[in-house]
Structure 1
């Protein structure tokens, strides 16, 4: 976009003083819009007139969000089967995510690749859980059969 068009649009929408303050806050060296570089002017312009995403970008984001939801759902399902997540309690699962999961962050903060790795981690945990649940008296066996664990004494 042309420099003069960006300046005119900014001046139509805001006072010269307000633009000067924004420029100084952004550049830390001037309040005059004419002293800004093209890159600085473009960054300031995009603060007030953000670009609208195209239809293809919106479609890609929607598909990506669906895929992320599916992987999160898989992770939660496996975590519930293994006993990492209780039915109506998120505290145990959140603590496990922050302390024992591969990336040690909240479930919503994971990218697609991280969710795939987290799902693999939980699938491995599930295999170990099922192997341990076959042995009578283990914590996994008690959890699988919905029994209270024995006393620690």
Structure 2
């Protein structure tokens, strides 16, 4: 005779009150019905860990997508800023109190300017509430 899940659930639930009060009686009952409680426990733990890993992976993917969109926003912002005819990098550095690793900003080429500004705006967009610091380090 083959047993279905429904039949098994019916057997287990028919004696729930009797067996569920005492863990030892519960284990005995399951063993009498040829069900290994240790295996059920191990499989349950495996499923929980798998679900936790899947949730962590989904969270990480969402964070990465969010970060990617913030970086793209910073790049777009920098491109529009650099393409502005009135844009002056030295003036921007002074007006925004940027602290740069290389203080000789006259030696910056277009790529250096773009990288520095992208990093500045990325950090600014990631933490827009960070107004405590007057100086931003790029």
TM-score, normalised to structure 1, is 0.25
| Length-normalised TM-score, structure 2 | 0.27
Q: Greater CA radius of gyration, 1 or 2? A: 2
